[in-house]
Structure 1
Amino acid sequence: MADEHGAWKTFGERTIYDNKWVRLGLTDVQAPNGERWDYHVVHLARIAIGLIVDDRDRVLMLWRYRFPTDQWGYELLGGLVEEDEEPAATAAREIREESGYQPIGEAEHLISFEPLPGQVTAGTEVYLWRAAEKVGEPTDTEEVGRLEWVPISRILELAQRQELLGAGALVPLLYYVASRGTGNAAGQDQAPEPA
């Protein structure tokens, strides 16, 4: 709701469309300039994503096609958080279903983000594991693609070539690359002390 800093005011929302994956709402809003109108807001289910980086500094990704954007590229493994399921458990489950790999050890929360906050709610939680073992074949037949262990050193190149599909791959991978050597959660080394 409104605050003394000129924020947007909302006066309710009505649902236009609703199903398991997406809800479209029409929100009665007032902008800081006083103008008022109905604003479309897309509400997506919460998402959990797993980032597995092995001891050879490679990340497990799926090369696949996405028809809405008519694009091939790499994605991390993840999916919708089920009711009464913890996001870290979702990420681990989705990794098993989509790849046949089982993450090893405790999940490390890497980052939380909203990929398109101007019009879409899609709370996204990302978890990091530093090992996984092959326990079977993928069981999710909808997530068809080619599994690859991609060197972390290629991430910036892949991003520049637009071969990392969507915020669910870009945000976690770029955060991981940027935080290495800083002593943050994803960094394997501590940052050097200032002289």
Structure 2
Amino acid sequence: MNFGDDGDRSSAWLVHGERPIYENYWATVHMADVQTPDGSRFEHHKVHLPPASIVAMVDGQDRVFMMWRHRFVSDTWGWELPGGVVDDGEEPAETVAREAVEETGYQITGSLDHVVTYQPMNGTVDSPHHVFVARGVERVGEPSERNEGHRAAWVPLDQINSLIQRGLISSSGTLIAVLHLVAISSTPQIGTSTPSS
């Protein structure tokens, strides 16, 4: 079976038009006049958020740098990776390099690899998220951004599964990045257990 794009657009939703409801730097909400393949026609919200970039900084001991953060919208706490909004004229890789220094005080000195660009909720929201892995960082000072979290740690990859299962990692970008790292490491996967001897 070919899992690529087969070019068939017969199931596409048609957009007859849209109008803005609310617009600012952080979020734009439009109302779209859409028609589904079965002929139904109705209005549907479209939310546009700026693109974001996230980076998993990994050291030579298979640890990833994470920050303990509060998210007021969901009123939740959890471990997250550094990252932020891609500024106008900025490449996603430049964003994570800048955010790493601002949020962590570490400068990326080694490789910076793009893992994936994904849409976290593309049924309603358009907001590309770019995920990177950096191997090789150097401490260059204290973080200049003081609102990102009060605690940070180099978390061993073999602790990631436990943190996820305990609900301590829930941000989508962080989950994608750390699950990628776990998948390419020798760490047991989610839902698996190490046989006892």
Distance 1:41 1:149 in 2: 38
Stretch of structure 1 that moved more, 103-112 or 69-78: 103-112
Of stretches 157-166 and 83-92 in structure 1, the one that deviates more from structure 2 is: 157-166
Runs of at least 4 residues of structure 1 off by over 4 A? none
Distance 2:50 2:75 in 1: 23
Which residue matches 2:145?
Answer: 140
Shift of 1:164: 1.0
| Alignment-derived partner of residue 46 in structure 2 | 41
Counterpart for residue 69 of structure 1: 74
Contact 1:49/1:126 (CA < 8 Å) preserved in 2?
yes
Q: Given the alignment of the two structures, is residue 129 of structure 1 paired with residue 138 of structure 2, yes or no?
A: no
Q: How does 1:1-195 map to 2 (within 5 A)?
A: 4-180=9-185
1:158 aligned counterpart, secondary structure: helix
CA contact (8 A) 2:133 2:177 kept: no
Q: 1:104 to 1:24 in 2, by over 3 A?
A: same
Shift of 1:4: 4.3
Displacement of 1:7 in angstroms is 1.6
The CA distance in 1 between the partners of 2:185 and 2:46, in whole Å, is 35
Q: TM-score, normalised by structure 1?
A: 0.87
How far apart, CA to CA, are the structure 1 residues paired with 2:29 and 2:105?
34
Assess, with a 3 A threshold, how the Cα gap between structure 1 residues 180 and 5 changes in structure 2: closer, same or farther.
farther
What letter matches 2:83 in structure 1? G
TM-fit CA distance, 1:174: 1.2
For residues 23 and 73 of structure 2, the distance between their equivalents in structure 1, rounded to whole angstroms, comes to: 20
Q: Which amino acid aligns with 2:99?
A: E
AA at the equivalent of 1:15: P
Which residue identity does 2:144 align to in structure 1?
A: T
Deviation at 1:73, TM superposition (A): 0.5
- State the one-letter code of the partner of 1:74: W
SS at match of 1:27: strand
Aligned residue identity for 2:126:
T
Where does structure 2 lack aligned partners over 5 or more consecutive residues?
Answer: 1-7, 187-197
**Post-superposition shift, 1:145?**
2.6
Q: State the aligned residue count.
A: 179
Indicate conservation of the 8 Å contact 2:111/2:135, yes or no: no
Q: Provide the C-alpha distance between the structure 1 equivalents of 2:12 and 2:33, rounded to a whole number of angstroms.
A: 14
Instruction: Output the TM-score relative to the length of structure 2.
Output: 0.86
